[in-house]
Chains A and B, each alone.
Chain A
Amino acid sequence: MKFADFVNEEAIRPDLGASDKESAIREMVEALVAAGQLAEDACESIISAILKREELGSTGIGRGIAVPHTKHPSVERLVGTVAISQSGVEFNSLDGEPVALFILLISPPDRPGDHLRALENISRQLRDETFCRFLRQSKSVEDVKTLLEEADNNQFAS
């Protein structure tokens, strides 16, 4: 599953303002609401579901990367966005480092296969140092969009 299959361009945030976990998650979920990808009345419920998942173990998996996610009945297909924090967000990461790169995923319940395939692709790209460096350096939605397209065309990780 490629980035283009679940990342909504209008919800990409290359310069997150948030500096703490809850605000960062809120900013990304609200970006998806604004892009028409999530129902506005589901917003708070989605934010609290993502935070609840974080309590079981941070999705900040190290190297400045986090993949906050949840399942939620308000979505009919996998929905996601990409965000970058230029200053870094405290995220209780596994390595204790602040997070700069976020990929947020919301999947319909009972579609574990889609989530797994999105995660497989995301992991393959994020494992690539060059991809991560370029993503950190992205300053605009256009930069991020181009980079994700290049990743979808297998220009980074094999």
Chain B
Amino acid sequence: MGESTLSATVTVANRQGLHLRPADLFVKTAKQFDAQIEVVKDALRVDGKSILDITTLGAAQGTQLAIIAIGEDAQAALDALVELIEQRLPQDDHEPVE
């Protein structure tokens, strides 16, 4: 057992980008894990468990982000967050989540 630091690069897939609701969903997912989560866009590096931090990125569709996970469950956290960003975010703000 040990702390691991892992990272993955993702491309924002949903048309509306990481606005408030995707940020909320991202944070809810991140908080299911103990790992510390950070999200990096260019020179900005923010807390992946804070909605306001995520929306500060202004990440539109097509933006590349790095997600960094630090902790024992880093791999599981990373897998869940990558899947969320690339596949599970609703396209439209008024669309329910599956």
Look across to chain A and name the residue whose beta carbon is closest to the beta carbon of B50.
A127
B24 touches A116 (CB 8 A): no
A127 touches B21 (CB 8 A): no
Look across to chain B and name the residue whose beta carbon is closest to the beta carbon of A49.
B94
Taking chain B's interface residues, is the majority helix, strand, or loop, or is none over half, making it mixed? Answer: loop
- Interface residue range, chain A: 20 to 34
Taking CB atoms, residues of chain B closer than 8 Å to A59 are 20
CB distance from A54 to the nearest CB of B (A): 11
Q: Give Cα A20–Cα B19 distance, bound, in whole angstroms.
A: 25
Which of A71, A115, A126 touches B52 (beta carbons < 8 Å)?
Answer: A126
B52 touches A127 (CB 8 A): yes
Enumerate chain A interface residues (CB-CB to B < 8 A): 52-53, 56-57, 59, 61-62, 65, 67, 69-71, 94, 112-113, 115-117, 119-120, 122-124, 126-127
Pairs of residues from A and B, 3 with the lowest C-beta to C-beta distance, nearest first:
A120-B58, A123-B55, A112-B16
